[in-house]
């Protein structure tokens, strides 16, 4: 079933379902449904998947967020149905489960028309052209008339994609308290302002957001803008991630495109604080390039560009696995199309109250041996991680 779980995660996180139908019930009883369908719906400005359960005499509904949708779809295939047909904007998938529980996946070009989903796709954007958005205007992305500036269209898309990835984190954030968020290496803070706008002005959360960066001029620019926009609970500070010791607990830690091992420092802080949510998009990863050795991989590593890409993928794999070892349910997602930036991998992690990490620890140790590496992240995490590995 692993291939099915991966496919379902990809469909939910990266594609848009037009319709999905689960059918071919394995064991019929009076209490079970005969068929389940799924479509996308918007409820109170939030995207959900609506599951329709067809019983003999009635129909029941459940509206689920992305993570719960993944879990429910996997359960439907593991427990109830022999087949699922999933039509997305991009492809048609058919999943067939054998009597022994083995899954076969067939993929074809999409047969459902784009128009059928365009209504949903339009609503997918959290920020829309034509809706005057002060922070976008101040940052020069939107004109005072609400038009997206041509040269800033990619940035606008990136911000929307970021907010889409943030919106999946909402169920992990407690609306009844002030959510403390740190954005490490915030830079000019397009994404930090977008986060504030989304959580406070659109979703009604109480937040305390701090953007941290090494650069004095950037911090001055962002602080002035936060003041101008009256974003009272957003502040910026100059400093190094490693030396940031202001808090003992933080709910959400963000580190987008912070350079090289700065990402590891950010992850270490997040885990020490017991952050519920972590979002990291690593950048310019030089650490493993000189360190990795693997005789079997010479046919790949003898080419500079391939070795460089491989080294970054290995670094991200190490980070994602370390987060799992530290008790986080971790996803690796595409942040933005490759055509816009090569730095497109996002590590998204949610604190898991009941993690089972033994298998991951063993796999991680073997992986390190195979590549003969001792990753910096272990140094950044210190004893907390070493204890788990021993």
Ligand X SMILES: C[S@@+](CC[C@H](N)C(=O)[O-])C[C@H]1O[C@@H](n2cnc3c(N)ncnc32)[C@H](O)[C@@H]1O
Stretch that binds ligand X, among 16-24, 65-73, 257-265, 362-370 (CB under 6 A): 257-265
202 close to 145: Cβ distance less than 8 angstroms: no
Asked whether position 71 contacts ligand X by CB under 6 A, the answer is: no
Of the candidates 162, 217, 76, the one whose C-alpha atom is nearest the C-alpha of residue 344 is 162
Name every residue whose Cβ is closer than 8 Å to that of residue 125 and which is 6 or more positions away in sequence. Answer: 160
Task: Give the ranges where 277-328 is alpha helix by DSSP (H).
Answer: 298-301, 304-325
| 340 binds ligand X per the rule CB under 6 A | no
What's the gap between Cα 352 and its chain centre? 15
- The conformation of residue 12, written as its DSSP 8-state character, comes to H
Candidate residues 163, 165, 166, 186; the one interacting with ligand X per rule CB under 6 A:
186
Nearer to ligand X, 255 or 276 (CB): 255
By beta carbon distance, the residue nearest ligand X is 187
Half-sphere exposure of 236 (CA within 13 A, CB side): 26
Using CB under 6 A, pick the residue from 191, 209, 270, 323 that binds ligand X.
191
Point out which span in 129-137, 179-187, 268-276, 380-388 binds ligand X (CB under 6 A): 179-187
Q: Which of residues 3-42 bind ligand X (CB under 6 A)?
A: none
* Pairwise CA distance, residues 268 & 175, whole Å: 25
The one among 207, 262, 279, 373 contacting ligand X by CB under 6 A? 262
- Please identify, using beta-carbon distances, which residue of 149 and 214 lies nearer to ligand X: 214
Cα–Cα nearest to 49, from 9, 20, 90: 20
Q: Is 159 in the site for ligand X (CB under 6 A)?
A: no
Residue 11 or 182: which CB sits closer to ligand X?
Answer: 182
Rg of the Cα atoms in the chain: 22
CB of 205 to ligand X, least distance (A): 21
User: Least CB distance from residue 229 to ligand X, whole Å?
Assistant: 18
**Quick one: 71 or 259, whose CB is closer to ligand X?**
259
With CA atoms as reference, report the closest residue to 272 among 326, 330, 213, 209.
326
The yes or no reply on residue 154 touching ligand X (CB under 6 A) is no
Per CB under 6 A, does 377 bind ligand X?
A: no
Instruction: State CA 67 to chain mean position distance.
Output: 11
Pairing of strands 35-43, 17-25: antiparallel
In whole angstroms, give the CA distance from residue 59 to residue 51: 10
Q: Which residues between 269 and 328 bind ligand X (CB under 6 A)?
A: 283
Of the two residues 209 and 241, which places its CB atom closer to ligand X in the complex? Answer: 241
CA distance 326 to 203: 30
- Nearest residue (CB) to ligand X, 76 versus 194: 194
Identity of the residue, 19 or 257, whose beta carbon is nearer to ligand X in the bound complex: 257
Cα 295 from Cα 297, distance rounded (Å): 5
Given a contact cutoff of 8 angstroms between Cβ atoms, the answer to whether 251 and 277 are in contact is: yes
Q: Least distance in Å: CB of 149 to ligand X?
A: 17
> Are 345 and 316 within 8 A, CB to CB?
yes
Q: Which of residues 205-224 bind ligand X (CB under 6 A)?
A: 212-215, 218
66-74, 99-107, 198-206, 254-262 -> range binding ligand X (CB under 6 A) = 254-262
Contact, 157 vs 191, CB < 8 A? no
The nearest distance, CB 115 to ligand X, in angstroms, is 34
> Residues 7, 258, 323, 325: which binds ligand X (CB under 6 A)?
258
* Distance in Å, CB of 140 to ligand X, minimum: 14
| Using rule CB under 6 A, residue 240 touches ligand X | yes
The window from 31-39, 78-86, 182-190, 371-379 that contacts ligand X (CB under 6 A) reads 182-190
Distance CA 332, CA 315 (A): 12
Binding-site ranges for ligand X (CB under 6 A): 185-187, 190-191, 212-215, 218, 240-241, 256-259, 262, 283
């Amino acid at each position: 079933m692993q291939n099915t779980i991966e496919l379902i995660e990809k469909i939910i996180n990266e594609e848009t379902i037009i319709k999905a139908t689960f059918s071919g019930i394995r064991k019929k009883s009076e209490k079970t449904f005969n068929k389940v369908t799924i479509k996308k719906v918007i409820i109170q400005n939030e995207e959900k998947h609506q599951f329709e359960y067809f019983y003999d005499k009635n129909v029941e509904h459940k509206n689920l967020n992305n993570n719960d949708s993944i879990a429910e779809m996997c359960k439907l295939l593991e427990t109830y149905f022999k087949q699922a047909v999933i039509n997305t904007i991009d492809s048609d998938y058919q999943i067939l489960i054998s009597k022994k529980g083995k899954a076969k996946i067939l993929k074809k070009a999409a047969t459902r028309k784009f128009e059928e989903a365009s209504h949903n796709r339009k609503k997918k954007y959290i920020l829309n052209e034509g809706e005057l958005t002060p922070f976008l205007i101040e940052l020069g992305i939107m004109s005072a008339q609400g038009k997206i500036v041509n040269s800033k269209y990619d940035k606008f898309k990136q911000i929307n994609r970021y907010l889409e990835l943030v919106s999946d984190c909402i169920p992990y954030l407690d609306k009844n308290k002030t959510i403390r968020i740190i954005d490490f290496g915030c830079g000019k803070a397009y994404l930090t302002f977008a986060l504030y706008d989304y959580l406070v002005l659109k979703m009604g959360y109480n937040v305390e957001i701090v953007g941290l960066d090494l650069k004095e001029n950037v911090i001055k620019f962002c602080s002035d803008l936060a003041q101008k926009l009256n974003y009272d609970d957003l502040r910026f500070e100059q400093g190094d991630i490693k030396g940031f010791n202001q808090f003992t607990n933080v709910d959400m830690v963000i580190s987008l495109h912070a350079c090289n091992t700065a990402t590891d420092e950010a992850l270490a802080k997040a885990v020490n604080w017991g952050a519920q949510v972590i979002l990291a998009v690593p950048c310019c990863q030089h650490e493993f390039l000189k360190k990795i050795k693997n005789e079997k991989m010479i046919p790949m590593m003898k080419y500079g560009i391939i070795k460089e890409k491989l080294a970054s993928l290995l670094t991200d794999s190490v980070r994602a696995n370390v987060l799992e070892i530290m008790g986080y349910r971790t996803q690796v997602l595409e942040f933005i199309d490759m055509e816009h930036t090569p730095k497109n991998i996002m590590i998204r992690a949610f604190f898991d109250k009941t993690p089972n990490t033994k298998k991951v620890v063993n796999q991680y140790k073997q992986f390190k041996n195979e590549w003969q590496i001792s990753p910096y992240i272990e140094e950044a995490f210190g004893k907390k991680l070493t204890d788990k590995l021993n």
